[in-house]
Amino acid sequence: MSGLTLEERVESLERSNRRLKLWVLVVLAVVGGLVCIAATQPVANVVRAQRFELVDAKGKVRIQLGIGGKDGQAPGAGLFDEKGQLRAALAVGADGSPFLSLYDEKGNGRAGLSAVPEGTGLTLYDEKGKGRAGLSLVANGNPLLGLYDEKGKVRAGVTLLADGAPRLDLLDEKGTGRAGLSLHPDGAPSLDLLDEKGTGRATLGVTELKTMATGAVERVPEASLVLFDEAGKVLWRAPTSAPASAWALPMPQSWPVLPLGPGGSSYAGVGGGHWVKEKIDGGKYILLEDGSLWEISSLDRIDTALWLPTESVVVLDNPTGLFPYKLVNTDTKEVVEAKCVGRR
């Protein structure tokens, strides 16, 4: 080609360029056709398997994806440390409920998070794999925090009741509630103490008492203490529903009386038709509707402490007793010894 003139070399170069452009156009047409064909085809799965493993630079499995479960319907993912120990696992159960588990360096489960139809929960485990604390949100939306001993028995629980009031419960090693601290919906506090059978035996603070005979319900105030027997019957309570002045001043100053005679033995209204007008000093005194004031035997004040205004009373002579009269509460079926100490 060195003997060619300049015009001949230019013409040869132009012919080469024309051939190159032709090949470029052919290649572009082929590639463009392939792109158009690929664009019209659906995307296909590149890889399908029941388990995948991702390894680090040393060939150690660090992530594992797979399908497990009894029926092979539970997808899950496991994350491993550099020693090959499982440290975290995420799975979805056959019912669609998700689970997240965290493990320590020995492979012991230390935390679990789940969302099941019954509610959402977080559980913390000790090094032996025993659940020691649990936080859950049950299906009705109420939260619950439980603390467990090394045997797995719940020993303390904090929750919100259905009415939104908070409550703290303490339980013995058998799982029986022994103490409960709560706030009522109006914010009033209450402390309950229970025996080994879970029966309430004492309440400090606000509570409601029901009279079995009449069904009347009385709400006692915050500054109250009520003791119960094994059957739930009130043994003793303080204060009663009497006015505050009745508690603050001595009896002669608060309730001046007129003597009826030596020993208070004279009373003309023996018989029925009477009713309780007022209870004084925790049941130590009972004032009837006719103004007669009665001092109750110390052995019987445990009963009169619960007597309520308007309850019917029959007055009977008691010639053989330490007190000259008996007061019969026909609503509660209780009989107490008493003496009339005056009128108000």
Per-residue pLDDT for 19 more than 90? no
Q: Where are the domains of the chain?
A: 48-96, 245-343
The pLDDT, as a whole number, for residue 40 is 52
The share of the chain scoring above pLDDT 70, in percent, equals 75
Across 295-304, average pLDDT = 84
The pLDDT, as a whole number, for residue 37 is 43
Q: pLDDT digit string (tens) for 185-230?
A: 888 999 999 999 888 899 999 888 777 667 777 888 888 998 988 8
CA distance 203 to 198: 13
pLDDT-derived band at 272, boundaries 50, 70, 90: confident
| Beta-carbon count within 10 A of 134 CB | 18
Q: Considering all CA atoms of the chain, what is the largest pairwise distance in Å, rounded to the nearest integer?
A: 163
The pLDDT, as a whole number, for residue 5 is 43
- What three-state secondary structure class fits 300? coil
CB 285 within 8 A of CB 294: yes
Taking only Cα atoms into account, the Rg of the chain, rounded to an integer number of angstroms, comes to 44
Per-residue pLDDT for 183 more than 80? yes
The pLDDT, as a whole number, for residue 197 is 84
- What three-state secondary structure class fits 191? strand
| Beta-carbon count within 10 A of 22 CB | 10
Specify the amino acid at residue 312. S
CA distance 15 to 4: 15
Backbone angles phi, psi at 143, to 5 degrees: -80, 155
Specify the amino acid at residue 18. R
